[in-house]
């Protein structure tokens, strides 16, 4: 009996421990965050409650970190409960194995900031993103393997993708909703059905990688245009299939196509286009506010989830713009006619979209952050610094690479910007002699000179032959500009430079010296330039019959008065009388200007790159023709204004036909 008495308390103790453990487990499960698809009720379920997202696209890589919170707050105050975010691989790994995740590249901080503002996140980490971004977000160094097949199960491509995903996805895992972060869904690839390869092994590889790094609980999805063919190649079992389409189409029919691949689950338009992209030389695209809000109301009335692409477009600073085929480069501005302008300003479309959203969802109370003030700093005089040819010892301190035939940008490991190709004339060209690129091998523009005298331009699309003059043995220079790699379609393997031989009078030119130009470093160290010419004289400044001047750097300074409160402020820089080039302020590469082509006439200058403690330095690289001369130095100016000019808009007031996919949408605009 004494033994039995001792056993009873032990059993009670074990029972008590079991109850306590069960209670703790239940509490833990009750507090655990969940986000999943409810196939029975055709919706998302967030923490056990029915949920619908109304999202907007923002590209942190097109908005300075200084303004991230401002833009996110404006999005939240519009009634959005989520944002959609691409992650461009090349922005974070511009050279193989060299990663950038600080300052403007700090994607983790951006996502955490969205969380603080009260926004959920729809993550689109690629590896391909399109986005009208250089090479669709793929790093150019992938092309060093000449046989590589991008966006496929090519072993070389998969090896590089695998290594990248091992870096980026573990950074994202703690930010998943299930782990206390804001990321509710993750897209695999991007509109893969629009690509030629239709490689399911590639999609399976990505699915396996995403699951390995992110776990089984996160919702993975795909996005394709509203076409059965596109979804057939872009979708994969285990990845939730969504569609994208713009205003004006038959929304019921669009979602019926999604239903063919996802009979149950939430309806989702992952890219509802609020505007459209631009190209140099074409009118600025706009989409009427009435068309946007009408279709948005219809989508929300269907009970669908929607992402507005774009809610703010932003800026292609530096060399980051993409291009389409036949080759058309996109400008520096990515305004997109979005509800928030390139500079983050509130627009009529913003308030109209907000009014529609508030009919279906609760919109936060309180003041909306205002548009940021702009300031016109006025004209700034510039002076000639040096021509590119005079600056080669600064721009290419290691000296040229010698090659019998031209090498591409990739072959000399110059991924962006400019490369100068130099050889000598093998024969006398006393009369105009054709310099030709018979295989359209100039990617993308070449500024040609002989013995320091500008001759004209060879162009990827049209200018494949240029008549030049010069003496035998004279130096022939071609400054070749990479205008941005193709970001969409089968030609994203866009190699730059002289990608095939040039001929002079039908004879192949050989014995090249190739100078990869590190302009970014040179602009940050202007003290190494040892002053510049204040006048224009000699052959180096001679004008050709076509009135071109040699590609030349110009420099100027301006001070912001400390007596005016709240300066510096945002501004816009314009280029009266200038033709085409690149501009830096205080070493920051603002991007390309091309007023001779348009539609963009001004470049956005965010206030955080300006200073009041010292003069601000402007460096302009004019490639074709500057307004500067000894006779009229007052014309050698740029001007800071307080309003953007992105050309007169062409408004597409007609409705689109039923079910446009992205290709058709682009054709229509």
Contact call for residues 425 and 470 (beta carbons, < 8 A): yes
Q: Which of 93, 132, 189, 271 is catalytic?
A: 271
Active-site annotation holds for 191: yes
Contact call for residues 126 and 190 (beta carbons, < 8 A): yes
Reading the block at residue 133, the tokens are 């971004």
CB burial string 212-246: b at 16+ within 10 A, e below: ebbeeebbbbbbbbbbeebbebbbbeebbbbbbbb
Angstrom distance (rounded) from CA 630 to CA 633? 6
Query: Do β-strands 602-605 and 649-652 pair in parallel, antiparallel, or remain unpaired?
Result: unpaired
Interaxial angle between packed helices 200-214 and 155-172, expressed in degrees from 0 to 180 and rounded to the nearest 10: 30
Q: Which of 93, 132, 191, 390 is catalytic?
A: 191
In Å, what is the CA distance from 38 to each residue of 50, 61, 219, 310?
8, 34, 11, 28
Bond into 288 cis (ω within 30)? no
Active-site annotation holds for 271: yes
DSSP track, 504-551: ETTEEP--EEEEE--HHHHHHTGGGG----SS--SGGGPPPTT-----
- Percentages helix, strand, coil for the chain (3-state, rounded to 5) are 30, 25, 45
| Structure-token match 């409810």, residue found | 38
Measured CA angle at 596 (ends 591, 599), to 5 deg: 70
List of residues 6+ apart from 574 with CB closer than 8 A = 595, 601, 602, 603, 638, 639, 640, 641, 645
DSSP track, 68-101: HHHHHHHHHHTT-SEEEEE--HHHH-SBTTB---
Reading the block at residue 384, the tokens are 């000639």
Active site residues: 191, 271
């Amino acid at each position: 009996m004494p033994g039995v008495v001792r056993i009873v308390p032990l059993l009670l103790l074990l029972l008590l421990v079991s109850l306590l453990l069960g209670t703790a487990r239940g509490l833990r499960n009750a507090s655990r965050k969940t986000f999943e698809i409810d196939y029975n009720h055709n919706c998302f379920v967030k923490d056990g409650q029915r949920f619908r997202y109304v999202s907007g696209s923002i590209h942190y890589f097109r908005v300075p970190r200084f303004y991230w919170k401002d833009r996110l707050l404006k999005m939240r105050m519009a009634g959005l409960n989520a944002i959609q975010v691409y992650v461009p691989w090349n922005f974070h790994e511009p050279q193989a194995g060299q990663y950038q995740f600080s300052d403007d590249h700090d994607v983790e901080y951006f996502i955490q900031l969205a969380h603080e503002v009260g926004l959920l996140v729809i993550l689109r980490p690629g590896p391909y993103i399109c986005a009208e971004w250089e090479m669709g977000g793929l790093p150019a160094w992938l092309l060093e393997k000449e046989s590589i097949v991008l966006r496929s199960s090519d072993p070389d491509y998969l090896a590089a993708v695998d290594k990248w995903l091992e870096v980026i996805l573990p950074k994202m895992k703690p930010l998943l909703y299930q782990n206390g972060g804001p990321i509710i869904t993750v897209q695999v690839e991007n509109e893969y059905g629009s690509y030629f390869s239709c490689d399911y092994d590639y999609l399976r590889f990505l699915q396996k990688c995403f699951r390995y790094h992110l776990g089984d609980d996160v919702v993975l999805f795909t996005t394709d245009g509203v076409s059965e063919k596109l979804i057939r190649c872009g979708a994969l079992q285990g990845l939730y299939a969504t569609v994208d389409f713009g205003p004006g189409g038959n929304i019921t029919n669009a979602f019926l196509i999604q239903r063919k691949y996802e009979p149950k689950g939430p309806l989702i338009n992952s890219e509802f286009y609020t505007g459209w992209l631009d190209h140099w030389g074409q009118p600025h695209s706009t989409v009427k506010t009435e068309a946007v809000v009408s279709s948005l109301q219809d989508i929300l009335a269907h009970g669908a989830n929607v992402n507005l692409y774009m809610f703010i477009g932003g800026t292609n600073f530096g060399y980051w713009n993409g291009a389409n085929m036949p080759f058309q480069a996109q400008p520096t501005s990515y305004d997109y006619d979005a509800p928030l302008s390139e500079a983050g300003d509130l627009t009529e479309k913003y308030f109209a979209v907000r009014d529609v959203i508030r009919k279906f969802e609760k919109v936060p109370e309180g003041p909306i952050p205002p548009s940021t003030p702009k300031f016109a700093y006025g004209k700034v005089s510039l002076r000639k610094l040096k021509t590119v040819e005079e600056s080669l010892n600064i721009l290419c301190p290691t000296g040229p690479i010698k090659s019998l035939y031209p090498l591409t940008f990739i072959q000399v490991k110059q991924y962006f910007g400019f490369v100068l190709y130099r050889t000598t004339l093998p024969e006398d060209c006393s009369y105009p002699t054709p310099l030709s690129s018979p295989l359209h091998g100039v990617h993308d523009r070449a500024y040609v000179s002989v013995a320091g005298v500008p001759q004209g331009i060879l162009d990827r699309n049209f200018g494949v032959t240029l008549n030049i003059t010069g003496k035998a043995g004279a130096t022939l220079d071609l400054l070749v500009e990479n205008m941005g790699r193709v970001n969409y379609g089968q030609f994203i393997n866009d190699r730059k430079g002289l990608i095939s031989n040039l001929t002079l009078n039908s004879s192949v030119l050989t014995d090249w010296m190739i100078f990869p130009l590190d302009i970014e470093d040179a602009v940050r160290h202007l003290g190494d330039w040892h002053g510049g010419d204040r006048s224009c004289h000699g052959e180096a400044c001679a004008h050709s019959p076509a009135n071109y001047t040699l590609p030349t750097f110009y420099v100027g300074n301006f001070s912001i008065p400390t007596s005016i409160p709240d300066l510096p402020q945002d501004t816009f820089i314009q280029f009266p009388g200038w033709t085409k080039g690149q501009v830096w302020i205080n070493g920051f590469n603002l991007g390309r200007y091309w007023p001779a082509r348009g539609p963009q006439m001004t470049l956005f200058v965010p206030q955080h790159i300006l200073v009041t403690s010292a003069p601000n330095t402007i460096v302009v690289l004019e490639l074709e023709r500057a307004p500067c001369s000894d006779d009229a130095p007052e014309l050698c100016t740029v001007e800071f204004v307080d309003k953007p000019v992105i050309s007169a808009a062409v408004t597409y007031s007609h409705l689109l036909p039923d079910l446009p996919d992205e290709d058709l949408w682009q054709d229509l605009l």
